[in-house]
Each structure stands twice: as structure tokens, then as C-alpha cells.
Amino acid sequence: MFDCVLAADLDWGIGRSNGLPWPKLRGDLAHFKRVTSLVPSAVIMGRRTWESAEVRGQPLPKRLNIVVTRHVELTIPAGVVVAPSLDTALAAANRCEASFVVGGAELFRLAFVHPALRWIYLTRVDGHFGCDVLVPSLDQDFVAQPWEGDADLEDNGVRYSIRRLARR
């Protein structure tokens, strides 16, 4: 089993120019850290997410970092695992108690239809941010499941909600 953690605007945009398009959302960052760091866990990300303005090719602390890529020339620090596919990454994360797919769009597309997907932790950013990276709409196939982390927040003038989704 694994979960996804993502933030998307009202157009299902998740990024622009290799970074997040909205201002820093402190509550969302705290949520991301809290969810992905609770137990020995793995974060699984694509190469572009690894190289993004937010990650900058540095491992996220206290988590097994797995980068999914077919680029064999990618330079990765010691302790970071490289995997050629989502399934290989999930197998490498098997020693952890929890695994989280954290981006990007292609990995999310694969994860959303994967039979081992349990939850999607979705931060829905209230606005249209002209994203150049989009994920498929989750409205048809997933529904919110109440949990203690549900929140409606605002940071830097941007409203957003945090929900946990499950397959319909």
C-alpha cells in the first residue's frame, strides 16, 4: 500500500516553470512534513520533482528518498535510491512502514490507477495559477474521507483546503 501527497489548483495544476506556482503555504508545508514523516517512511518522486526549486536535488530529511527516472547519468547523493519505475520504487520502499508518491505529474498519473494506492492527501489551492504541469481531475474517481487532518487554511492571501481522498 502507498499514498499520494499533492497540491493542485482549481485547474488541477501542480507546477509551473519547475516549481510551485503559488506563494509559500506554511500550513501545507507543515502538513506535508507531518504526513510523510510520521513513521519510517519513503518519499517517491520523479526526476523533475527531484530537480525542482523546492527539492533542489537534496534528500528530504528522515525519509528514504526514491527518485524514479530512466536517466542513468543522474547524480544522486549516497542514501538516495534510484528506480526505473513506480513498481520498482514501491518494492524498494517495502522496508518502510509507509510510502508516499509526492510528484510529479507522470508519477501521479500512474499512482492514481495503481491497485496498491490507499489514500490521496490533497491540498486544493483556491485559484488559477497558470500551471504548465497538470494532473488528471480526481473528482470522478475519488471522494473525500473525513480524518483529523481536514483543514481550511489561508497563507499569503491564498486560501486552500487539505483533504484525504479514497477511491469511489
The model's pLDDT over 2-38, given as tens digits with 9 standing for 90+, comes to 999 999 999 999 999 999 999 999 999 999 999 999 8
Over the stretch 35-77, which tens digit does the pLDDT of each residue have? 999 899 999 999 999 999 999 999 999 999 999 998 878 889 9
Predicted pLDDT of residue 101: 98
72 C-beta neighbours (distance < 10 Å), count: 7
Distance CA 72, CA 49 (A): 16
Question: What single letter denotes the amino acid at residue 6?
Answer: L
Decide if 151 contacts 144 (C-beta within 8 A): no
pLDDT digits (tens, 9 = 90+) for 70-92: 887 888 999 999 999 999 999 99
Q: What is the DSSP letter of 6?
A: E
CATH architecture of 2-167: 3-Layer(aba) Sandwich (3.40)
Looking at the chain, the whole-number percentage of residues with pLDDT higher than 90 is 95
pLDDT at residue 155 in the model: 97
Arithmetic mean of pLDDT, 113-141: 98
Amino acid at 32: F
pLDDT at 120: 98
Spatial contact of 45 and 110, defined as CB atoms under 8 Å apart: no
In this predicted structure, what is the pLDDT of residue 51?
93
User: Residue ranges of the domains in the chain?
Assistant: 2-167
3-state secondary structure of 18: coil
Residue-level pLDDT at 105: 97
Residues paired with residue 142 on neighbouring β-strands, in sequence order: 167
pTM score, whole prediction: 0.96
